[in-house]
A and B are shown apart, each in its own frame.
Chain A
Amino acid sequence: MATEVHNLQELRRSASLATKVFIQRDYSDGTICQFQTKFPPELDSRIERQLFEETVKTLNSFYAEAEKIGGSSYLEGCLACATAYFIFLCMETHYEKVLKKISRYIQEQNEKVFAPRGLLLTDPVERGMRVIEISIYEDRCSSGSSSSGSSSGSGSSSGGGGGAGGR
């Protein structure tokens, strides 16, 4: 099967975007950034429940760490005040550091867990931290040039056959 980059045009070649699942924010604790760990039914046959939950919980913990009010954030604020906020030109804020960590984590999860299952996580920051977007891709014959609306059944069956052969 042709390898697929996360690029819409290239995706059409072999793995087409089938649908997207959006994990909404969990506001039960106020406006702190955390996402619902409820397992969406669309992913039921694509990924194991605990893998998904573990990913979301890890992300939630990252965001909690980013928003934590502690000594570091206080010092950062004081330093910024003292330098008339010129420090922001030179230094990365604590939140931004954690966001980079999150981005790396999401990429790693995509590579190791989600991409092999035909899923792709989108960093919530790109969506304004409102949702975690999970793109579900369907197996599709590399030669298939059908539109993205083509049946997923054929795609999955071909994927299954391919998988069988591959295995």
Chain B
Amino acid sequence: MPRSPGTRLKPAKYIPVATAAALLVGSSTLFFVFTCPWLTRAVSPAVPVYNGVLFLFVLANFSMATFMDPGVFPRADEDEDKEDDFRAPLYKNVDVRGIQVRMKWCATCHFYRPPRCSHCSVCDNCVEDFDHHCPWVNNCIGRRNYRYFFLFLLSLSAHMVGVVAFGLVYVLNHAEGLGAAHTTITMAVMCVAGLFFIPVVGLTGFHVVLVTRGRTTNEQVTGKFRGGVNPFTRGCYGNVEHVLCSPLAPRYVVEPPRLPLAARLKPPFLRPELLERAPPLKVKLSDNGLKAGLGRSKSKGSLDRLDEKPLDLGPPLPPKVEAGTFGSDLQTPRPGSAESALSAQRTSPPTPAMYKFRPAFPTGPKAPFCGPAEQVTGTDSLTLGEDSIHSLDFASEPSLDLPDYPPLSAADTFSGALRSLSLKAASRRGGDHVALQPLRSEGGPPTPHRSLFAPHALPNRNGSLSYDSLLNPGSPGGHACPAHPAAGAPGYRSPYLHAGAPGDPPRPPPRSFSPVLGPRPREPSPVRYDNLSRTIMASIQERKDREERERLLRSQADSLFGDSGVYDTPSSYSLQQAGVLSEGPRGPGLRCGSRDDLVAGPGFGGARNPALQTSLSSLSSAVSRAPRTSSSSLQTDLASSGGPGARPTSGPHRSPAHQVPPSPPGTPCSPSYAGPKAVAFIHADLPEPPPSLAVQRGWIGTCSRGWGRRGQPWAPPGLHLCHFGLPEDHPPLRAPWSPAPGAPPRGAVCRLHLAASSLFPSLSGPERDTK
């Protein structure tokens, strides 16, 4: 019998249960001793067996009803209680199967009593599905032990019936010697049984009715459903089944052995907005960041740029806008264009990015490569892959520039290089790989990824970058991103070949290697290239080569200016990209990608071109100083400035040289063109610090309560109700009627009302305390 804390042992309450137990056991024992032997002989041995089993059943159910927890609710914690402060209503309505049921606030247990729950004053507990408090078992009858109580009643009734019946048989057969001991005892037992027969059977019948109607004694006695509908009924059969066959409910008061709480709370915590925005990009950024290598970041940015560019640069590829065109080409047909871009690219120096989009180089445009899933998920991987590709580009730049580079072979090489690059990227980023995986949208929501990359002309970037790389042999050789140790290889093929992907493996291999190249929607840039005919691409390539060289010469002079310019516009772009790609923390990483932004400049809206050019020139100049260091320095500079200028560095050092060409289209779109847009992007996309949660710390440990309708709750003497929390957390207690600190004194009139009262003196109240 669960006892609530604070109650003392009261012997009086044990009298009924002791009496009941004594009578039950005593009478039955006498019956078995004095009556059953004769019955065994005279009637049947089954009589004592039946009675014995029945008695055992009665005892078991009696014990269960007496000692089993009826379903006591533990007291509510303070912090749960504080939700319902004392100004809360006494009742709370809840809808149960369409019927409003009232839940009353329990002042003792500090919660709103669930439906059918009631507080037992004897046990001082709230009991679930409270039926009644039975003195004969000295226990509440509730959800858990109602079945045993009901069975006890049933079995006791049956037992009593049996005892009386068999006793009668015995007495009738021993009528001649009623004075005999056995007969006397049997008659005494029959009297006791007969005495309690009526109440017990009456109670049994009452509970049979309750069970079939699905009510509790409490509900029946208080008339809750008198004339109304019982929302808790399950039908006659359902109710009986529920009482007799439902699983034994658990105890609430005693905590079952729990598994140790192994969850560790390790701030910083994830936030939904962070997860939504950044995940795929995040990983990539860090991966493509400075530490990951210039190429990677650059490629990523380039991919973004490419995505943005396509709109600006139409399919036709004027010499100037070649870089942009590539980007735009890559961009426009995004979803499926990757393949086409790739194919187109193939004719001219194939872009590694393009290659990525298009697994099988020789295959027709668009055919194999980007399956929708691939495209969708590929965004992230594409970005990363782009980085690698760019690095590849740079590595292979020198070779690409070779005029005698046959388009197809170059493409093949590119593809191989791309694959190898992806492999390298994958290996390089082993960890990133894992991190990237979850970020990538596995074919699921292509749109988010696409949208992320939409503003960034990823394909364009790729295309342009690759193009640049092709055109600018400036940073060939080992300067290439670490992924391409063979960057210095003279031939275009070498880096890629070194990478180890010979021939043109189908797209899957690259993807399988590198998380970056995973299911990313590469389509943007590759598609563009694929759209172009080979001859056109070849011519574009040649023109780009020429322009690249010219730009290199110019960039030397413009480097200074370009840097600043780079930081200005491209920075915005890169920032935008950065924002899209990752949250603020990843800024530096993003910067690396800013290179892509720069590259994508031309496509981005034209504004980039000039910036791109300047950045490229700066990059190229930087590169000229020291390929790797310059690019890296630029990158860091860019990172610090957050400008796209970094972009050039983001790509492999090679990129600087290559970057110049990208902006070539020569359309010096005013930086302002991209500026506002980029700025807008910045504002929109820049990662902002996680919003601070307006958590009300003060809830815990506060103690400013007034005693409302619910009245003062019971609390153990000396126990302050608001004991949760550190003492210093508790604001000083104050009576409800005393003003809070800082509150104006009673009767003070605020300025507004003071003015009003002055205007309408008649309307002001009797007390007019002017401040």
- Where the two chains meet, the residues of A that have a C-beta atom closer than 8 Å to any C-beta of B are 1-6, 11-12, 14-15, 17-20, 22, 25, 27-31, 42, 45-48, 66-69, 73-74, 76-77, 81, 84-85, 88, 93-96, 99-100, 103-104, 107, 110-111, 114-118, 120, 123, 125-131, 133, 136-140, 147-167
Contact = CB atoms under 8 A, between A and B. Distances in A.
B245 A69 contact: yes
A47 B269 CA distance: 10
Given A45-B272, A45-B273, A103 B246 contact: no
Contacts of A99: 250, 256
A125 B637 CA distance: 57
Nearest to A139: B267
Contacts of B568: none
Nearest to B271: A45
A117 B271 contact: yes
Contacts of B626: none
29 contacts: A6-B265, A15-B265, A30-B96, A31-B115, A31-B116, A46-B272, A47-B272, A76-B247, A76-B248, A84-B56, A85-B63, A93-B250, A94-B247, A95-B247, A116-B270, A118-B267, A127-B76, A127-B77, A128-B252, A138-B697, A147-B728, A148-B701, A149-B697, A150-B697, A152-B693, A157-B690, A161-B268, A164-B584, A167-B582
Contacts of A68: 247
A22 B486 CA distance: 60
B550 to A, nearest CB: 41
A48 B249 CA distance: 33
A29 B233 CA distance: 11
Nearest to B264: A3
B404 interface: no
Interface string B4-26: 00000000000000000000000
Interface in B295-314: none
Nearest to A126: B255
Interface in B209-260: 231-232, 234, 241-242, 244-250, 252, 255-256, 258-259
Contacts of B735: none
Contact of A123 (B258, B282, B691): B258
B700 A164 contact: no
B264 A4 contact: yes
Nearest to B72: A128
B271 A81 contact: no
B720 to A, nearest CB: 17
B73 interface: yes
B124 interface: no
B265 A159 contact: no
B282 A167 contact: yes
Nearest to A72: B247
Contacts of A85: 60, 63-64, 148
A48 B695 contact: no
> 4 shortest A-B CB distances, which residue pairs?
A164-B585, A163-B268, A118-B269, A160-B690
Interface residues of B, number: 86
A133 B271 contact: no
B697 A30 contact: no
Contacts of B250: 93, 95-96, 99, 125
A46 B271 contact: yes
Contact of B245 (A74, A107, A139): A74
Contacts of A161: 268, 585, 689
Interface string B49-76: 0000000110110011000000001101
Contact of A67 (B116, B151, B247, B725): B247
A83 to B, nearest CB: 9
Question: Which of B271, B695, B700 has most chain A Cβ within 10 Å?
Answer: B695
Nearest to A2: B266
Given A81-B57, A125-B250, A107 B97 contact: no
B79 A20 contact: yes
B232 A166 contact: no
A14 B151 CA distance: 55
B176 interface: no
A138 B693 contact: yes
B266 A3 contact: yes
Question: Which of A67, A88, A136, A159 has most chain B Cβ within 10 Å?
Answer: A159
B101 interface: yes
Nearest to A83: B60
Interface string B687-699: 1011111111111
B752 interface: no
Given A93-B248, A120-B265, A30 B271 contact: no
A29 B95 CA distance: 9
Given A125-B256, A130-B111, A147-B726, A118 B60 contact: no
Contacts of B114: 25, 27, 31, 130
Given A3-B266, A4-B264, A157-B689, A165 B96 contact: no
A9 to B, nearest CB: 10
